[in-house]
């Protein structure tokens, strides 16, 4: 592979790449991996939209939403915060700590399995998830935690090669193989979901076998109890945050099906929302680079640098989001004609992602000063607000209302975190604000105005392309400022 790279890539570029610290190379490849995964999903999405009817595609989206929610209860997502923090806390005993995390997660999965079986009738009646399907879910949850522990440890150690290869390989097989199974067993949502789960179980099973030495967990009971207490205390409060966050993101589809009675509407909404998730990946990848830099600057009281870079990035991210929104009608052409109805959902959902980016600016400051409880408060409030607004909106305006309630809730969430960030800074005796409130909220009003104009002229390709040309021109004019900002981030 190295020799092939040397033949294809100019030596100057290769030497420059090798000079980068391993942290930057890892961040680069994990970002590339995220975009490749989403790219695979996007390529397959219109294919499945062709194979499956609108109703079956909507059912598939609903099942996926329920799977994400069930996973929170069945694993507590211990492979995330508790495990990642524990790698530092118990760095001299990571093997036993990992086995304990897998053990606790598996116990939770078994408990949830029995609860589901006891209450299968009402749960299945509400969700449409059968006992057979939940049984497959449970097997998947059992093996999914050790796989994620392995993946997060690789990220922690900046060992990106194996992690990227395995992740992309699993994504390729689990997205492509179901295309064959639905041709053999029938083009239904359940065939697609079950075949995907079985493939992922096969991939994750070796990682579960590697961590299956539960006898070792009981060998030192005091140590194990200490690990269990830590994991549950750390992750317990975050379960509410995760649940609220997923409700905020997934409840739209569930409520559309319940109140509009049309799974086709769920399909249209899901496709549009999936496009917006591309920007979420871009935003998350950008924040992975920004977060450590921002923490270092806050530690050195470099508030002006944080403000200046944040202003540039807010404008840059806003420009990318608007361009993406303006070009979406052309991207939608790859879907069957029946899915074009979902295009009207895309603009408000896409602009909502802009406010998600603002949210990260404020949350990072809260996290730095240790005020993580605010995250759970805001997430819970916005999730409940989203449910209430969806209930009213769907009945009055149909499923398109969910796109606007999502935008409203994301905007409120970012503003609430701005308020809590100010409170946090005041309590921490920070005399200089790490964000430029006037510039950020002023630009946010411009974004909303652009959204309004776009909505009016969305059917006019001339107006949309003129706006795209204007954004590209602005980026070219201010390219030196953008490049200097990136160099400042990379140099620190």
Q: In terms of domains, do 268 and 242 share one?
A: no
Predicted confidence at residue 289, as pLDDT, reads 64
Q: In terms of domains, do 253 and 267 share one?
A: no
| 393 located within any domain | yes
From the CB of residue 463, how many other CB atoms can be counted at a distance below 10 Å? 15
Lowest average pLDDT, out of 100-104, 339-343, 388-392, goes to 339-343
Q: In terms of domains, do 329 and 404 share one?
A: yes
| 243 located within any domain | yes
DSSP three-state, residue 91: coil
pLDDT band at 203 (very low <50, low <70, confident <90, very high): very high
Helix and strand numbers (H, E) in the chain are 20, 0
**pLDDT (tens digit per residue) in 445-470:** 999 999 999 888 888 889 888 988 88
Q: In terms of domains, do 320 and 422 share one?
A: yes
Write down the pTM of the prediction.
0.79
- What's the total number of domains in the chain? 2
Lowest average pLDDT, out of 1-5, 6-10, 299-303, 352-356, goes to 1-5
Residue where one domain finishes, among candidates 233, 257, 281: 257
Q: In terms of domains, do 57 and 144 share one?
A: yes
| 14 located within any domain | no
Predicted confidence at residue 2, as pLDDT, reads 45
Average pLDDT over residues 386-400: 91
Burial of 358 (0-12, 13-18, 19+ CB in 10 A): buried
Domain residues for 473? Answer: 262-492
| 234 located within any domain | yes
pLDDT(25) > 70: yes
Q: In terms of domains, do 301 and 434 share one?
A: yes
**pLDDT (tens digit per residue) in 139-181:** 999 999 999 999 888 877 878 889 899 999 999 999 999 999 9
| 12 located within any domain | no
What are phi and psi for residue 189, nearest 5 degrees? -65, -40
**pLDDT (tens digit per residue) in 62-88:** 999 899 999 999 999 998 878 877 887
| 7 located within any domain | no
Q: In terms of domains, do 491 and 416 share one?
A: yes
Q: In terms of domains, do 44 and 139 share one?
A: yes
| 13 located within any domain | no
Residue where one domain finishes, among candidates 231, 257, 283: 257
Q: In terms of domains, do 271 and 397 share one?
A: yes
Lowest average pLDDT, out of 265-279, 280-294, 300-314, goes to 280-294
From the CB of residue 6, how many other CB atoms can be counted at a distance below 10 Å? 11
Lowest average pLDDT, out of 216-230, 343-357, 476-490, goes to 476-490
Predicted confidence at residue 181, as pLDDT, reads 95
Q: In terms of domains, do 190 and 66 share one?
A: yes
Residue where one domain finishes, among candidates 257, 290, 315: 257
Mean pLDDT of the chain, nearest integer: 85
| 4 located within any domain | no
Q: In terms of domains, do 237 and 335 share one?
A: no
DSSP string computed for 346-378: HHHHHHHHHHHHHHHHHHHHHHHTT-THHHHHH
Distance CA 379, CA 447 (A): 23
Q: In terms of domains, do 267 and 236 share one?
A: no
């Amino acid at each position: 592979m190295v020799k092939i790279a040397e033949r294809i890539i100019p030596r100057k570029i290769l030497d420059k790449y090798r000079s980068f610290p391993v942290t930057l190379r890892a961040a680069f490849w994990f970002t590339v991996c995220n975009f490749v995964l989403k790219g695979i999903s996007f390529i397959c999405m219109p294919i499945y939209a062709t194979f499956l009817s609108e109703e079956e595609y909507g059912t598939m989206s609903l099942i996926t939403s329920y799977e994400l929610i069930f996973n929170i209860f069945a694993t507590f997502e211990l492979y995330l915060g508790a495990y990642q923090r524990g790698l530092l806390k118990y760095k001299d005993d990571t093997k036993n700590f990992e086995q304990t995390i897998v053990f606790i997660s598996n116990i939770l999965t078994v408990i949830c399995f029995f609860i589901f079986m006891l209450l299968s009738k009402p749960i299945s009646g509400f969700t449409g998830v059968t006992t057979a399907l939940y049984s497959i879910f449970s097997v998947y949850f059992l093996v999914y935690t050790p796989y994620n522990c392995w993946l997060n440890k690789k990220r922690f150690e900046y060992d990106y090669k194996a992690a990227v290869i395995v992740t992309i390989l699993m994504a390729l097989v689990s997205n492509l193989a179901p295309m064959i199974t639905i041709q053999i067993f029938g083009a239904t949502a359940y065939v697609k979901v079950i075949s995907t789960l079985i493939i992922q179980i096969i991939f994750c099973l070796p990682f579960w076998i590697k961590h299956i030495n539960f006898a070792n967990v009981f060998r030192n009971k005091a140590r194990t109890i200490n690990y269990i207490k830590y994991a549950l205390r750390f992750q317990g409060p975050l379960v509410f945050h995760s649940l609220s966050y997923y409700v905020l993101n997934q409840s739209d589809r569930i409520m559309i099906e319940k109140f509009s009675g049309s799974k086709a509407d769920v399909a249209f909404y899901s496709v549009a929302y999936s496009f917006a998730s591309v920007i979420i990946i871009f935003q998350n990848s950008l924040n992975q680079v920004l977060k450590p830099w921002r923490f270092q600057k806050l530690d050195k009281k470099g508030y002006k640098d944080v403000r200046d870079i944040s202003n540039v990035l807010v404008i840059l991210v806003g420009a990318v989001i608007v361009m993406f929104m303006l070009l979406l009608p052309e991207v939608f052409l790859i879907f069957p004609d029946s899915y074009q109805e979902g295009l009207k959902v895309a603009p408000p959902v896409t602009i909502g992602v802009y406010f998600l980016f603002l949210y990260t600016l404020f949350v990072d400051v809260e996290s730095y000063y240790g005020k993580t409880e605010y995250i759970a408060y805001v997430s819970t409030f916005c999730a409940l607000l989203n449910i209430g607004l969806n209930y009213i909106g769907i009945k009055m305006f149909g499923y398109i209302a969910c796109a606007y309630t999502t935008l409203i809730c994301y905007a409120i969430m970012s503003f609430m975190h701005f308020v809590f960030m100010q409170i946090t800074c005041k309590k921490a005796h920070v005399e200089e604000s790490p964000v430029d409130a006037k510039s950020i909220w002023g630009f946010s009003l411009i974004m909303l105005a652009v959204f309004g104009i776009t909505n009016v002229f969305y059917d006019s390709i001339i107006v949309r392309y003129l706006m795209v040309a204007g954004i590209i021109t602005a980026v070219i004019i201010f390219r030196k400022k953008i490049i200097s900002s990136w160099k400042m981030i990379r140099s620190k």
